[in-house]
Amino acid sequence: MTPLPTPLPMLCHTCNSACKKYGRHRNGLQRFRCNECGRTLTEDHDRLLGEMRLPLDRALLCLQLLVEGNSVRSTERITDVGKREILKLLVLVGSRCEHMMERRIVNVKVKDVQLDEIWCFVQCKQKTKNRLNKGEGFGDYYCFVAIERYTKLVLAWHLGQRTAEDTEIFIEKVSRATAGEFQVSADGFEAYPEAISLSLGTRVSFAQLIKTYRAAHPQQSPEGERRYSPSRVLEITKVTRIGDPDPAMISTSHIERQNLTMRMGMRRYTRLTNAFSKKVENLKATLALHFAYYNFCRIHQTLRCTPAMEAGIVKSIWELKDLLR
């Protein structure tokens, strides 16, 4: 058995001499005393929140409320933490979660991947943006999501417009996150075939599930039904694009269920409310926090563990505090 390495001694900041242990600070940190000059010092703080002065337990409570679907204002009322502090915390943790997922979810062996986009808007909808001639950072946004069918792991995501350029960026993320040969299913978005052919064409079998909807007739459908209910599906067509996919496995049901999880778990994605995002940075941070929490912290009821454990990325259930590290 390999012996553990001997920890380096604490050195005095004044005379650079070795120090010995000298009790503990009132906050529990180890104190030291210099053997030469007698100066006392305390070990470095584990500053998980950077320069923020928010107590760690209060910060974790704010994050727990946010990932369970509470709005920023609701979190402010419950925790007595200011709105600006909550948003600052959200952006800080969101950036760490995004980088963590990029490092952890790489070359994962998968069998069946499903792709989809979910709509939201920032500040105003696209029609209002065009009418008011607003610039970048406003209007409709789409979050591209890739999920593995059996492990329920969110492999990659991308926030952008529903264009060919953003689709290619998203598929590149999927390519970096996956390994080996697998099957891909997606909806009828026309930008998918070319993007998948460029990034994944040599190792995937790809098919699209194209749905034909009935057009709502003003005289046959009440106003409420036309506005809030989806149109009735008349026909579903499975179209093979690349390779030889298994027709029985061509499906988008699991990614559609993931869309529901996003709508329920993020207040910004709840329809017909005033909780929509006002800044793209806050929306992106919210998505990063949600997907990291979903993959590493939240127990999936079907799997009875987290998706990251099912995929073999980690061996235990993470806590919110682990995402800060």
**Strand, coil or helix: 273:** coil
**Strand, coil or helix: 184:** strand
Q: Which two tokens stand for residue 195?
A: 């993007």
The reply to whether 36 and 167 lie within a common domain is: no
**Strand, coil or helix: 251:** coil
CA 168 and chain centroid, separation: 19
> For residue 149, what is the domain's CATH number?
3.30.420.10
The CA distances from residue 281 to 21, 138, 205, 286, in Å, are: 45, 12, 35, 9
Per the listing, tokens 């998948």 go with 196
117 beta partners: 144
Determine, yes or no, domain membership for 277. Answer: yes
Q: Round to whole Å and give the CA distance between 187 and 182.
A: 17
Q: Sheet of 40-42: strands edge to edge?
A: 19-24, 30-34, 40-42
Residue 76 CB neighbours (<10 A) = 19
The reply to whether 18 and 61 lie within a common domain is: no
pLDDT in tens, 135-167: 889 999 999 999 999 999 999 999 999 999 999
Determine, yes or no, domain membership for 268. Answer: yes
The CA distances from residue 130 to 125, 127, 141, 166, 274, in Å, are: 9, 5, 14, 20, 20
pLDDT in tens, 80-100: 999 999 999 999 999 999 999
The reply to whether 148 and 28 lie within a common domain is: no
DSSP 269: G
The reply to whether 37 and 155 lie within a common domain is: no
CA 224 and chain centroid, separation: 33
Domain residues for 303?
Answer: 56-215+228-324
List per-residue pLDDT tens for the chain, 325 residues long: 444 444 556 777 777 788 888 888 776 678 888 888 888 877 665 677 777 888 889 999 999 999 999 999 999 999 999 999 999 999 999 999 999 999 999 999 999 999 999 999 999 999 999 999 998 899 999 999 999 999 999 999 999 999 999 999 999 999 999 999 999 999 999 999 999 999 998 899 999 999 887 775 555 555 445 555 667 888 889 999 999 999 999 999 999 999 999 999 999 999 888 889 999 999 999 999 999 999 999 999 999 999 999 999 999 999 999 888 7
Residue 169 neighbours by CB under 8 Å, 6+ apart = 158, 160
The reply to whether 33 and 179 lie within a common domain is: no
pLDDT at 224: 46
Residue 324 neighbours by CB under 8 Å, 6+ apart = 48, 49, 59, 93, 96
Contact 52, 45 (CB under 8 A): no
160 beta partners: 142
pLDDT at 6: 46
Q: Which two tokens stand for residue 263?
A: 């709508």
Determine, yes or no, domain membership for 138. Answer: yes
The reply to whether 148 and 268 lie within a common domain is: yes
The reply to whether 210 and 301 lie within a common domain is: yes
Residue 233 neighbours by CB under 8 Å, 6+ apart = 211, 212, 213, 214
C-alpha neighbours within 13 Å on the C-beta side of residue 66: 32
The reply to whether 34 and 145 lie within a common domain is: no
Residue 43 CB neighbours (<10 A) = 13
The CA distances from residue 110 to 79, 97, 315, in Å, are: 41, 22, 18
Nearest to 112 by CA among 166, 153, 172: 153
Determine, yes or no, domain membership for 17. Answer: yes
pLDDT at 20: 84
The reply to whether 41 and 153 lie within a common domain is: no
Q: Round to whole Å and give the CA distance between 186 and 219.
A: 34
Cα–Cα–Cα angle for 86, 292, 206, rounded to 5 degrees: 135
pLDDT at 46: 63
The reply to whether 272 and 137 lie within a common domain is: yes
pLDDT at 9: 65
Determine, yes or no, domain membership for 221. Answer: no
The reply to whether 34 and 105 lie within a common domain is: no
Q: Which two tokens stand for residue 254?
A: 């699991």
Q: Which two tokens stand for residue 31?
A: 């104190």
How many domains is the chain partitioned into structurally? 2
pLDDT at 219: 55
Residue 223 neighbours by CB under 8 Å, 6+ apart = none
The reply to whether 78 and 180 lie within a common domain is: yes
Strand (E) positions, 48-136?
Answer: 108-109, 112-122
pLDDT at 218: 54
